[in-house]
Amino acid sequence: MKIVIVGGVAGGATTAARLRRLDEKAEIIMIDRGYHISFANCGLPYYVGDVIKNKEELLLQTPESFNKRFDVDVRIREEVEKIEPNEKKIIIKKLETGEVYEESYEKLVLSPGAEPINPFKNLKTEKIKTLRTVEDAIGIKEYIINNSIKNVTIIGGGYIGVEMAENLRNYPDLNITIVQKGTHLINPLDEDMACFVHKKLKERKINLILNNGVKNIEEKEKLKITLEDGELDTDFVILCIGVKAETELAKNCGLEVTNKGILVNEYMQTSNKDIYALGDAVVVKNSITENSVYTPLAGPANRQARVVANNIVGKLTTYEGVIGSSILKIFDYDLAMTGLNEKNCKELEIEYKTIIVSPNSHAGYYPGARLLTIKALYNKKDGKILGAQVWGKEGVDKVCDILGTVIKMKMTAYDLEKLELCYAPPFSSAKSPVNILGNSIVNQMDGLVNNITWKEVDELVKSKEYCVLDVRTDGEYERGAYKDCIHIPLDEIRNRLEELDENKTYLVYCRTGLRSYIACRILLQNGFKVENITGGYYFYSVLN
């Protein structure tokens, strides 16, 4: 069998390697217009920031090493210009010489990836760059160093934009600004959880311009950026607006394509059964909603590659879709997310509820325990976990990976309570953060308490029927509290019930939500109306 793969990196190179392991006799050709067929594109910001010192460390395989190990005919600096599906052939151009030639195939795999969005292509300048390839990373790093740059503006506050800001902070004299059109950084995050990111970046002297898009850039002595509201001068711009699937090749040969990417079925086949597509170029289904989504991440691309290779050799395998699990480092903290966010749930009219818990990453009595903040979304009707966002210094990946698995397996909060997870004091608690999350949701589901958010509190306290009750210690209260609240420490509540009004509803908070839950149980069983403020004062202090 003769298989031609267009594009390398996570999608194409992984497909080629899997194909060879399954079929030693297949003729496999991989064509890539770049210089490198397998490089760590997720590591590029860390090379710019000099965390990865040597650019060779980004190269996972060279064309020569890949050929030697997998017996794949690797052709770099060549571009497929046209696909002729009826004749099962492609037209290829050698970029170094301009020579054009034809190549036949039995099965064709499209892994062209995605290109960075650049609305300012007409402005020919070295002062505006995007980040996609090793050459891009080298160019950004060299330009900043060689030109003694003082001010860098990152346009776009997604994963790459935030990672770039963190890594550029390694240049201590650099003034760094992120401009984001939306109201908060990291679009898949909910706005309240994004406050942790904003606070951390501001602590590291990174300027944030939010809810303010870029209208135009002009090159004068410096770059003049015209915003929707205001102006900004800078020495250098890195565009991190997002990426757009490269679909022209597929579209021009008649394959079904949307404005987001190439359409594929569960076997990763395009509308032509002999042409497969994968990676950043395709649209796949969301495992939770069954809707079509565009999710340009390396993990899904690698799993799709295995599915493609399996199906080409007749090992029937389906791709079950994505839930959008991701993680990034933000200085000394980690941020992870999986599944749906509030915006998704509202758009899809899913009846959901949120809960925020802040347990320790491991046993509190063992040195080094760190506070985790976990926000989970769950279905109000059956307790099925829909999404989660996790912030902290330790254990973030572990917790989010567990919750991603829970979502993938369509499990509920009742299942979270029952999970048996590893425990020893240096690693977790006897009741793990995930168990605690499950307990908290089940308490709500079973009617033991009703949890509300700080956003709801701000609305409710406008009515005289509601009053905020702080049950923290005297010392905690003196260091800061919610405005106009009543303060009764938890351990004194039973003896001070006469100070409370049975006609009011008390909105109760502590530091993270555990003591306030205990207070709610005491008050409920003594005839009072109460709501537990999820996230506690710790979360409130970040929001404000």
How wide is the angle at C-alpha 504 spanned by C-alphas 502 and 509, nearest 5°? 105
- pLDDT for 286-309, tens place per residue? 999 999 999 998 899 999 999 999
DSSP state of 412: B
Catalytic residues: 510
Following CA atoms 228, 230, 236, 237 in sequence, which dihedral angle do they give, to the nearest 10 degrees?
-20
**Is 310 in contact with 161 (CB distance < 8 Å)?**
no
The bridge status of strand 326-330 relative to strand 107-110 is unpaired
- pLDDT for 394-412, tens place per residue? 999 999 999 999 999 999 9
Which residue matches tokens 């995605």?
114
Following CA atoms 209, 210, 211, 216 in sequence, which dihedral angle do they give, to the nearest 10 degrees?
40
Q: Which of 211, 204, 202, 212 is nearest to 232 (CA)?
A: 212
3-state secondary structure labels for all residues of 22-90: HCCCCEEEEEECCCCCEECHHHHHHHHCCCCCCHHHHEEECHHHHHHHHCCEEEECEEEEEEECCCCEE
**Is 6 in contact with 15 (CB distance < 8 Å)?**
no
pTM recorded for the entire structure: 0.93
pLDDT in tens, the chain (544 residues): 999 999 988 899 999 999 999 999 999 999 999 888 878 888 999 999 999 988 888 888 888 989 999 999 999 999 999 999 999 999 999 999 999 999 999 999 999 999 999 999 888 899 999 999 889 999 999 999 999 899 999 999 999 999 999 999 999 999 999 999 999 999 999 999 999 999 999 999 999 999 999 999 999 889 999 999 999 999 999 999 999 999 999 999 999 999 999 999 999 999 999 999 999 999 999 999 999 999 998 899 999 999 999 999 999 999 999 999 999 999 999 999 999 999 999 999 999 999 999 999 999 999 999 999 999 999 999 999 999 999 999 999 999 999 999 999 999 999 999 999 999 999 999 999 999 999 999 999 999 999 999 999 999 999 999 999 999 999 999 999 999 999 999 999 999 999 999 999 999 999 999 999 999 999 999 999 999 999 999 999 999 9
Cα 347–chain centre separation = 19
The side-by-side arrangement of strands in the sheet containing 292-293 is: 262-263, 282-285, 292-293
CA-based Rg of the chain, rounded to a whole angstrom? 27
